Amino acid sequence: MNIYKNPRLKTGWHVQLFLSISLHSKDKALLEQIKNFFGVGSIIYKKNKNVAPLLVSSIEDLKIIIEHFNKFILITQKRADFELFQQAFWLIKNKHHLTKAGLDKIFAIRASQNLGFSEKLIESFVNTVPVERPKIKNQIIEDPN
């Protein structure tokens, strides 16, 4: 999730939700398969870079990804980040990010995600209290047979 100042907006902040899957450029065939499976996103190939990201940023496209991972639940600690991502998604989908209260909720979610706040955001939101990070239990991969 990107959060940056934009004085033209009512809240003064722009929030952009996105999902990025980055793989080594030698694995571009796998990245293409992931893109084709979901039917959404763009792969950004940059010359002189060893990494190629699959980027999904449209709210409707992100909904497809969210529905998939609600059906096929992650069982690692990535599940916690997914649950936080999903909370932010619904706030944005329902346009709550356009209000101060909704924006505060998004900042609290962002502060709890795996990368947390950047130094710049920490300075701007010193009073933000991170939401509680979801606890992930039962991380055992069950035998499908």
Report yes or no: 19 and 56 within 8 Å, Cβ to Cβ: yes
pLDDT of the chain along its 145 residues, tens only? 888 888 898 888 888 999 998 898 889 899 999 999 999 999 988 777 888 899 999 999 999 999 999 998 888 778 888 999 999 999 999 999 888 889 888 888 888 876 666 666 666 665 666 677 777 776 666 676 6
Structurally, what CATH architecture does the domain formed by 58-145 represent?
A: Roll (3.10)
How would you class 135 by CB atoms within 10 Å of its CB: exposed for 0-12, middle for 13-18, buried for 19 or more?
A: exposed
Per-residue tokens: 122: 């920490």
Report yes or no: 104 and 128 within 8 Å, Cβ to Cβ: yes
Give CA separation, 18 vs 21, 66, 76, 94, 127, in Å.
Answer: 10, 12, 20, 16, 25
The residue ranges of every structural domain in the chain are 58-145
Report yes or no: 89 and 66 within 8 Å, Cβ to Cβ: yes
